[in-house]
Chain A
Amino acid sequence: MATDGKLEKYKEDEFPHLAVTGYRITSRATRAYNCFAWAAGEDDRWWNPLEPNSPYYWPDGVPAELTIVAFIQAYQTLGYEPCESSDFELGFERIAIYATPDGEPTHAARQLPNGKWTSKLGRWEDIEHELDGLTSEMYGSVKQIFKRSI
Chain B
Amino acid sequence: MEKTYKTSGQNATFSYPIWETAEIEVTFLELAEQWRRETGMMSLITKMSMHPAYQRIIGMGQAVVPLILRELEQEPDHWFWALQAITGANPVQSEQRGRLKQMAEAWIQWGRENGYRWQAGKV
Contact = CB atoms under 8 A, between A and B. Distances in A.
Interface stretch (A19-27, A42-50, A79-87, A142-150): A42-50
A58 B101 CA distance: 17
Interface in A9-61: 10-11, 14, 29, 31-32, 34-37, 44-48, 50, 53-58
Contacts of A10: 37
Contacts of B44: 48, 66, 105-106
Interface in B41-79: 41-48, 75-78
B100 A122 contact: no
Contact of A36 (B39, B43, B101): B43
Contact of B43 (A11, A29, A34, A44): A34
Contacts of B122: none
A37 B100 CA distance: 13
A37 B42 CA distance: 13
A50 B46 contact: yes
Interface size class of chain A, counting residues whose CB lies under 8 Å from the partner chain = 20 to 34
Interface stretch (B13-21, B23-31, B91-99, B112-120): B91-99
Give the residue among B37, B47, B78, B98 with the most A Cβ atoms within 10 A. Answer: B98
A124 B44 CA distance: 13
A108 B43 CA distance: 9
Nearest to A46: B98
A1 interface: no
A121 interface: yes
B103 interface: yes
Contacts of B96: 55
Contacts of B103: 55
Contacts of A14: 41
A141 to B, nearest CB: 16
A126 to B, nearest CB: 12
B98 A37 contact: yes
Contacts of B87: none
Contact of A122 (B42, B46, B92, B99): B42
A47 B46 CA distance: 12
6 contacts: A31-B77, A53-B90, A58-B97, A66-B44, A121-B40, A122-B43
Interface of A: 10-11, 14, 29, 31-32, 34-37, 44-48, 50, 53-58, 66, 105-108, 120-124, 138
